[in-house]
């Protein structure tokens, strides 16, 4: 929530990439029921992943419209 409120596109992209990498790594090492995948599913089901993606899209749109 706080990271999204900062509206820092670079930081949001890094967060999204870190979450994705954490999940991929967890799936490879621990499988579907590993902690990393369960954390990702919790974030997704609570709407946090969608909020992050929406914030990134909105900031990219703003940046492109200013050019």
Q: What is the pLDDT of residue 57?
A: 96
pLDDT means over runs of 10, the chain (67 residues): 88 96 97 96 97 96 83
Q: What is the pLDDT of residue 17?
A: 98
State how far Cα 9 lies from the chain centre. 12
Q: Do 49 and 19 form a contact (C-beta atoms < 8 A)? A: yes
Q: What is the pLDDT of residue 67?
A: 63
Reading the block at residue 32, the tokens are 């579907």
């Amino acid at each position: 929530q706080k990271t999204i409120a900062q509206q820092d596109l670079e930081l949001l992209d890094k967060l999204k990439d870190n979450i994705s990498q954490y999940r991929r790594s967890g799936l490879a090492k621990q499988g579907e029921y590993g902690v990393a995948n369960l954390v990702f599913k919790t974030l997704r089901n609570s709407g946090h992943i969608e909020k992050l993606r929406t914030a990134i899209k909105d900031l990219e749109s703003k940046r492109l419209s200013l050019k």
